[in-house]
A and B are shown apart, each in its own frame.
Chain A
Amino acid sequence: MAEDWLYFNGVNASRGEYAHEPIPVRELARLILGERPSPDRIDPDPEQRAALRERYLADVTGAFRVKEGVDPTNLAQAGWGIIFPATFDPAPIREALSELLNWRRVQAGPRYRECSGERGYRPGESKAAFLRRQGAATSGPVDPERFPYYLLLVGSPEDIPFRFQYQLDVQYAVGRIHFATLDEYAAYARSVVTAERNGITLPRRIVFAGVQHPDDVATSRSLQGLVQPLATELVGHPQRGEWEISTLSGSDVTKERLSQLLHNEPPTLLFTAGHGVEFEANDPHQLYHQGAILCADWPGPQAWRQRPIPPAFYLAADDIASNTSLHGAFVFQFACFGAGCPREDDFPHLRGTRSVIAAKPFVAALPRRLLSLPRGGALAYIGHVERAWTFSFSDTRGGRQIETFSSTLRRLLFAGAPIGYALEFFNERYAELATVLTEDIENARWGQAIDPIELSTRWTEHNDARSYIILGDPATRLCRQQATEATDSQLQLTMQPSSSTKIAPIATPSPIATESVATPPSSAAQPVTPVPAGSLPPETPVIPVALPEVGASFGLFGNKPAETMQKLSTALQEFGERLATTLQQVIADAAHLEVETYTTDAPETINYRQGDFRGASLRAVTRMSLDGDTQVLVPTNAEGIDERLWAIHVSMVQQAQTNRAEMVRAIATAAAGLLGVLQGK
């Protein structure tokens, strides 16, 4: 009967079949216990087992992850640190990440820490040994004054093993980044800082994508037991607010649809559940495609009949175009190997010996790609190292357990907590299961009978919960939407006759809509001074100024409140008019952007202010219109296109586009900020 069997998520693309055949739970229980049951099978490090138990007890008693009085969601209190391997010179990567490091240094203040060189992670080091060297406690609540709660590991799992990450994660909030190039590190750093500083444009939308293949029990279960109930729970949750939640399921989750979603309509959270493709250790695809999302295009094990699985059936890193933007998004992939692959099998019980499954451990390529997109990548990717199991959300007795997933998503999305803190629910479960399992095995060691189904369930859940990791900075969180600012940036220029005594609105409508947002209620009782606007062009908006009643005494103004106020209001009036005029010109000119690049032997001799460019050669021009019409003059030299100068010019064009958007936003923010003041609110 199906309930007595254990199914694995994972399809071996080299062989075109399940990576691991389902096995009866009783058989698994026998393998877990072995001939001589030992807690070593849970974790060979007794210190780590003690730490897991301590964590479990702390969770049971409601103790906090960080010491009393520290807000774990506030970096200034919780701290932030970065850990490099001691074995390599961190300077180039540090340099590439400098934008992020500077940003975090400011946020965390004295609780910012960099561990590199002597202080970095040393090969083979356990969590306890590492923490001791840092002067931090090796168990118990985190004291951020001694070592920060949020920790970003930098490097491959060869340099800093996954095992160290799991161990550290029991006590701290840990993430990891590992990229192939410095540009990717820099791109990720830029994405995080830009998202946190400027906000993001992604809609508040969650998409659950639950793949289901014909004749495939594993994906039927992940769809029905995880994706659908999870989506349903979040849809009906009172904290949901304005979040739009949609589900793609079954045969709809094709590679084309998923690709379209990521490229054209990315949500703030993409949650996928299904098989991750897996390859043999000697397969050249392994490094690039292992963990890729097997889509509904695969017709299932019966129809496919053990042929190698082609890339057309799965979404891999190389399917993501470089001009894609997922800026500010989070991705949660429930699948085997979605986050990475260890060198050796984590489940030796299944084969009797620990086998090599990859030439070296690695972080999966798809998350690396999504995090390092040059135009803005995802902020964090939550995935699984090694195999993921259906027992995570559904045990053999029919019980459903999605609260860990649900709580994590709610804390991340609805409460806005950093991802490292949101994922603590998985660590709680890992600690609980490890502790209970250790006791079970201790009992079995002394001859006590253990229910094989219970044992298999716990063991599977334990492995599953342990191996969820964060790729990315664990302190990243859902960023505010730029929509608020974009709203500001689309200041409505509403004409107000100067003779009017009503409050004239500078409304802040949606970027597309042109109608005014309702004017805030005006205080009709307040006297309103008409604005002298005779010198302005008729379409210039008028910002009315409402002076406080002269009778409203306020000691700080001395005896001349009206005079003082008049001076301020006049200055602001002029400023507001200038802002409005500039914005109006910008909007009128928005359909056109022009960038010219000249070369000259001596730029200081060019009389540029008078428009006299003698002595300079116009080498490159870009003229862009909103209607898509672009004219380009490309610089050439004896060899053809002058690539060097063209690259400089292109960077100027990008700068110009960024600057224009930024400037409109800044003007709008300034105007919106003054609006309330000028309207006498």
Chain B
Amino acid sequence: MNAVFFVIEPSPTVVTPPGPWQPLVSGNAFSTDDQPDVIWQARLPDDALAAQSAIRSAMSQLDAQEHALATVEQRLRQVVDGAVSFGTTLPLAEQHLLAWVSMGEQPPGGASFGLRDEVQERWQAAQEQFIALSTQVCESLRSYATVETIHGSRLIARTRVNWFGDVQSWLVTDITPVQATLHHQTLTLALRSRAALLRIIGLVGRGAALIATMVASPISALMALPASWQFVQEILAEVQQSMVSST
């Protein structure tokens, strides 16, 4: 059995949190209950070494994505400072951003050659995604996070954390130190991923402010948000790509 990490949300997620998580939808009940918990579930193989290895690998994935996120502002600054220009060696994120800026500076109805449509399409998709992300995170801010560790086929521990930091855990009576460590690591992974998702919002905001300075037309950072969001997404995709190609 391979390890799988699920993030189970009441509504379909638009953005998967950084880390190894795969989205699942639990559905919303028509009741007056509180918002259902977002469940972060690690399903780990029975073999303890394989389970530890899976957690380590998941942590590495998150590390890589967090590191990539830490480079976003610097890369944006390089674009803003004119340190990069169009070229075949330019990463996709920078290429798309420069295309977006270039299109933005042309008056509406200018020469198109199809590029404007493509960029505009991407921009609108990014805008919708970003709005959906804001809603998703907004909803998660209302709910608890429940972190579950399934070792083999057995639920060995469940921890519920609210946004204020209070924690309740239910452990199987005969939990072993190794299993306790596995659950602790799952909890760390989930909470770090949750925080990273939230940070992305701020990062996109700061990125938008930078991008707004690139465009000659008078635009606000608000208008540049989708471009910034797209840039961040493409950098995360780069990490994903490099991890796939290195395995």
Contact = CB atoms under 8 A, between A and B. Distances in A.
B80 interface: no
A603 B134 contact: no
Interface stretch (B4-12, B20-28, B82-90, B154-162): B154-162
B222 interface: yes
Contact of B67 (A106, A549, A603, A644): A106
Given A603-B172, A656-B165, A648 B180 contact: yes
A269 B233 CA distance: 38
A376 B167 CA distance: 24
Q: Which of A564, A590, A603, A667 has most chain B Cβ within 10 Å? A: A603
Interface string A93-130: 00000110011001100000000000000000000000
B35 to A, nearest CB: 11
A422 B135 CA distance: 47
A568 B209 CA distance: 15
A572 to B, nearest CB: 6
A573 B123 CA distance: 20
Nearest to B212: A681
A578 B142 CA distance: 8
A677 B218 contact: no
B32 interface: no
A24 to B, nearest CB: 57
B66 A670 contact: no
Contact of A656 (B166, B219, B225): B166
A556 B103 contact: yes
Contacts of A557: 223
B141 A579 contact: yes
Nearest to A588: B164
A554 B218 CA distance: 8
Nearest to B181: A651
B171 interface: yes
B169 A549 contact: no
A569 interface: yes
Query: Per DSSP, are chain A's interface residues mostly helix, strand or loop, or mixed?
Result: helix
A33 B226 CA distance: 73
B169 A548 contact: no
Contact of A676 (B138, B192, B206, B218): B206
A681 B210 CA distance: 10
A555 B110 contact: yes
B231 interface: no
Contacts of A660: 164-165
A572 B104 contact: no
A564 B180 contact: no
A606 interface: yes
A673 B218 contact: no
B114 interface: no
A552 B217 contact: yes
Interface string A528-556: 00000000000000000111110011111
B97 interface: no
Nearest to B206: A673
A652 B225 contact: no
Contacts of B169: 595-598, 652
Interface string B130-160: 1100110110011000100000000111111
Query: Per DSSP, are chain B's interface residues mostly helix, strand or loop, or mixed?
Result: helix
A88 interface: no
Interface in A341-392: none
Contacts of A555: 103-108, 110, 116
Interface in B144-202: 146, 155-161, 163-173, 175, 177, 180, 184, 187-188, 191-192, 194-196, 198-199, 201-202
Contacts of A648: 171, 175, 180, 184
A102 B170 contact: no
A677 B164 contact: no
Contact of B166 (A548, A593, A667, A680): A593
B225 A556 contact: no
Given A102-B64, A547-B222, A603 B127 contact: no
A590 B165 CA distance: 9
Given A578-B138, A663-B195, A652 B170 contact: no
Given A548-B220, A655-B184, A575 B138 contact: yes
Given A571-B135, A575-B134, A601-B173, A558 B120 contact: yes
B127 A564 contact: yes
Contacts of B142: 578
A107 B188 CA distance: 22
A555 to B, nearest CB: 4
Contacts of A675: 205
Interface string B211-241: 0100101111111011000000000000000
Interface in A553-605: 553-559, 561, 564-565, 567-569, 571-572, 574-575, 578-579, 582, 585-586, 589-590, 593-604
Q: Which of B137, B164, B206, B212 has most chain A Cβ within 10 Å? A: B164
Contact of B171 (A107, A597, A666): A597
A260 interface: no
Given A553-B217, A651-B184, A673-B205, A666 B199 contact: yes
Interface string A75-92: 000000000000000000
A662 interface: yes
Given A554-B217, A659-B165, A666 B198 contact: yes
A644 B187 CA distance: 19
Given A553-B217, A676-B221, A669 B141 contact: no
A634 interface: no
A608 B205 CA distance: 37
Nearest to B131: A571
B221 A600 contact: no
A307 to B, nearest CB: 49
A656 B59 CA distance: 19
Interface string A637-674: 00000001101100111011101101101110111111
Contacts of A132: none
A102 B165 contact: no
Contacts of A671: 202
B119 interface: yes
A615 to B, nearest CB: 9
B42 interface: no
A98 B56 contact: yes
Contact of B63 (A106, A559, A598, A603): A106
B37 interface: yes
A136 interface: no
A537 to B, nearest CB: 15
Contacts of A554: 104, 215, 217, 219, 223
B158 A608 contact: yes
24 contacts: A98-B60, A102-B63, A548-B220, A548-B223, A549-B218, A554-B217, A556-B119, A569-B222, A571-B130, A579-B141, A598-B169, A598-B170, A599-B171, A599-B173, A603-B171, A606-B158, A608-B170, A645-B171, A663-B195, A663-B198, A673-B202, A676-B206, A677-B221, A680-B221
Interface of B: 34, 36-37, 56, 59-60, 63-64, 66-68, 70, 100, 103-108, 110, 116, 119-120, 123, 127, 130-131, 134-135, 137-138, 141-142, 146, 155-161, 163-173, 175, 177, 180, 184, 187-188, 191-192, 194-196, 198-199, 201-206, 208-209, 212, 215, 217-223, 225-226
